[in-house]
């Protein structure tokens, strides 16, 4: 008979499960918090500075309105990761790619772009782990 302590110990030794849970947690919490901050502006008072000017011209709306839309999309992406991590991971990765392109377009934020590239790779890893978990659950 297996005790609950043995089950917990087994779960803690499963690196794939740990990695999945850690990545899913960060990609639920971070996009939601960053998205909410587009409205309350606690983390940064000026999100618009990270938006490349050519994007404003491309979408045809002012930077502030665009960032409010960005915030809503980020919140939805975080919720998507919570319930459909395989798909949500790809959505977050694509979103991060867009952020990277914008940061490179602005200039002066290559350090943040590099960090976001690392997050993009982690989001892809989340999708991969989620897909493997789905395959393992099939009979």
60-108 pLDDT, tens digit each? 999 999 999 999 999 999 999 999 999 999 999 999 999 999 999 999 9
| Angstrom distance (rounded) from CA 62 to CA 56 | 6
Q: Please tell me the predicted confidence (pLDDT) of residue 9.
A: 58
CA angle 77, 33, 63 (to 5 degrees): 80
Token reading at 42: 């606690």
Closest to 126 measured CA to CA, from 21, 2, 14, 56:
21
Token reading at 131: 């897909």
Do you know the residue count of the chain?
A: 139
Residue 21 above 80 pLDDT?
yes
- Rounded to two decimals, what is the model's pTM? 0.88
**Lowest mean pLDDT segment, chosen from 6-10, 24-28, 60-64, 67-71:** 6-10
């Amino acid at each position: 008979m297996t005790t609950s302590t043995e089950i917990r110990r087994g779960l803690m030794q499963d690196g794939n499960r740990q990695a999945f849970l850690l990545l899913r947690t960060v990609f639920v919490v971070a996009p939601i918090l960053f998205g909410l901050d587009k409205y309350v502006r606690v983390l940064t008072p000026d999100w618009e500075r990270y938006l490349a000017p050519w994007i404003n011209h491309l979408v045809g709306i002012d930077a502030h309105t665009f960032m409010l839309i960005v915030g809503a999309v980020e919140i939805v992406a975080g919720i998507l990761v919570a319930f459909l991590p395989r798909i949500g991971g790809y959505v977050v990765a694509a979103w991060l790619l867009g952020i990277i392109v914008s940061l490179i377009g602005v200039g002066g934020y290559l350090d943040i772009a590099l960090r976001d590239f690392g997050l993009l790779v982690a989001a892809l890893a989340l999708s991969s782990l989620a897909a493997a978990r789905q395959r393992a659950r099939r009979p």
